[in-house]
Chains A and B, each alone.
Chain A
Amino acid sequence: MSGTHSELSVSVWRGTREGRYQTYAVPQRESQTVLDVVTFVQRHIDPTLSYRFACRVGVCGSCAMTVNGRPRWTCRTHVSKVAGDGHLEIGPLENLPVIKDLTTDMEVFFEKWQQAQGVFAPTKTRHDAIAQIRPDTPARIAADAGIECINCGVCYAGCDTVRWNSDYLGPAALTRAWTLLNDERDGGNAARLQAISATGGCHACHSHQTCQELCPQALNPTASIAGLKRRTTAAYLRGEIIA
């Protein structure tokens, strides 16, 4: 439902973990995105506002923020879709430390990526023949279903288990582990299975599916994590994992 107000009332988080929402009046324009609104505030009203963006066309994931309570890509969120009553509330992504205003510290997000062994472990060198990977094997289909993740952090920001359990690696890190687990070129599965079977690993997921609902790339981390649960259980029962 598109609003026909000429002006938006925009509450923007100012501060760090503590602070307050400050309200700005922003002219409403056609095809305006939430990123346009934030940019307007910073350029024309308050240059001290801190926020992140890069591509502004929905391929980099840098502009993710909490808009009216939901984590979203602001460059891909049309104001007309979310500000029906002429009001917007914009805050930083949740579950991450706030550096300032709308920028969060993503370090723990990427650390967990490493912890989940979300890193490709090569088995060949440039001197070997290129691996012939069929796109239609079940493993490759499973991997392909998860590889479009661009680390935007929306799933992490939306996950209750991340909120409740500081050890939890999170949907993005686990999805990457799943794609690598299914990558026949990768040689790091023993360590990977061990890493995601520990406290805070895939078994902490309660399948709320908020990640799947929110993912701007339409990925399904819940399904990937379910796959991880199956693989780790099988490995555990075979005695390959120390728990």
Chain B
Amino acid sequence: MNVRLYVWQRTTAAIMAPLVLVHIAVIFYATRQGMSAADILSRTQGSIAWAAYYGLFVAAVSIHAAIGMRNVLTEWLPLMERRAGRYAIAFGVLLFVLGFRAIAAVVLP
């Protein structure tokens, strides 16, 4: 961990703090209502707000989780910094791609 990774890690954390709070509320709402897939998709499809909100969330979490993963790999496995960095980037890319795919799946009509 150096200052550059630290700044990205903490900035994405700060961005996500309010996003997570809203997300928890969304979780509570969606699960309590016993919503069907159709119910959910009728709310998300065509919604720019939904896309923007979760787009920001996915971008932030991809960076945040990747850096966190990098720390765990270097500290808890005997992995050297550069190799851990590569795995971490791969993981971040995975989250980014799957995340935006999921957003597309629920937002695009």
Contact = CB atoms under 8 A, between A and B. Distances in A.
Interface of A: 161, 164-165, 197-199, 201, 203-204, 229, 232-233, 236-237, 241, 243
Interface of B: 1-7, 10, 74-76, 81
24 contacts: A164-B75, A164-B76, A165-B75, A197-B2, A197-B3, A198-B2, A199-B1, A199-B2, A199-B81, A201-B2, A201-B3, A203-B1, A203-B5, A203-B6, A204-B1, A229-B6, A232-B3, A233-B3, A233-B6, A233-B7, A233-B10, A236-B7, A241-B3, A243-B4
A241 B76 CA distance: 28
Given A164-B75, A165-B74, A236-B7, 8 more contacts: A161-B75, A197-B3, A203-B6, A204-B1, A233-B3, A233-B6, A233-B10, A237-B7
A241 B5 CA distance: 13
Contacts, number: 33
Nearest to A197: B3
A203 B3 contact: yes
Contacts of B74: 165
A161 B75 CA distance: 8
Contact of B2 (A165, A203, A237): A203
Interface centre among B2, B5, B10 (most CB of A within 10 A): B2
A232 B2 CA distance: 10
Contacts of A237: 7
